Amino acid sequence: MAIANFSNRTIKNYRSALIRFLDFVVSKKVSEVSDELIEEYLYHCKTKNNYSLKIKQPPAGGR
């Protein structure tokens, strides 16, 4: 990410979000991670933890 010119703060935020997601799916197999599970996680974040995560879609053709 540093090579792609992301700021240190952005890298830290992405890392933190990834760790929270991995904590949520820790008991799941990789094959069990689905769109539905991700939606469940986002709902959990918004309703239980009182924060929401925005999913940034990369532009067509990469970053």
CA–CA separation, 30 and 27 (whole Å): 10
pLDDT of 59: 57
pLDDT of 48: 81
Please say if the pLDDT value at position 63 is more than 60.
Answer: no
Contact 52, 42 (CB under 8 A): yes
Indicate yes or no: pTM above 0.85: no
| pLDDT one-digit tens code per residue, 8-57 | 898 898 899 899 999 999 999 999 999 999 999 988 888 887 676 665 55
pLDDT of 19: 93
